[in-house]
Amino acid sequence: MDLTGKKIAILATNGFEQAELEVPLERLKKAGAIVDVVSLGAGEIKGWDKKDWGRPVKVDKTLDEAAAADYDAIVLPGGQINPDLLRVEPKALKFIKDIFDAKKVVAAVCHAPWLLIETGIAKGRKMTSFKSIKTDVANAGAKWEDAEVVVDQGVITSRNPGDLEAFCAKIVEEVKEGRHTQRSAA
């Protein structure tokens, strides 16, 4: 699937699950998309790789430099630390919500559905997540499913790094489809 001309933001900060940023970054670039790693500050962010700190990843744009209008989709890697830090950042939440409100693709894996809860996007949607936040997702009004990838009108969720191939394939498919004009508001 060719994503030439499409632009995708991966929003993350320190403590992202290594594979959940690197695999989508690689797959989406391989599909032809321009992919920017967007974060709170410039420089590098450091991943979490299973049981210890992982490799740093270069930040392409800060949230102050990024605009939702410039992107066709946003990818939200998980890990416990990364989404927990981002969900208290108003600029991060606004960036996610602006992309959602423009009816563009929003993809979250592992613990990143916490960000969909915080923005109100989760309410009334079919979703999945890492099993330890299943109750959080359900309490936010989402219909939690145990599946490798769940899609609800362009909102894509997956459970863990083992689901990344299905997650990335679904992102490519949904970005190819374009805006989800039938999407109901969160």
Three-state secondary structure call for residue 91 = helix
Q: Is residue 111 flagged as an active site residue?
A: yes
Containing H/E element for 127? strand 126-127
Give exposure, 141-156, as e/b (b: 16+ Cβ within 10 Å).
ebebbeeebbbbebbb
Give the active site residue among 104, 111, 134, 180. 111
> Residue written as tokens 């600029």?
91
The residues that bridge with 126 in the sheet, in sequence order, are: 143
List the one residue out of 95, 127, 89, 93 whose CA is nearest residue 111: 127
Contact 7, 70 (CB under 8 A): yes
Tally Cβ neighbours within 10 Å of residue 165.
13
Burial of residue 2 (CB within 10 Å: 0-12, 13-18, 19+) is: exposed
d(CA 176, CA 72): 10
Catalytic residues: 111
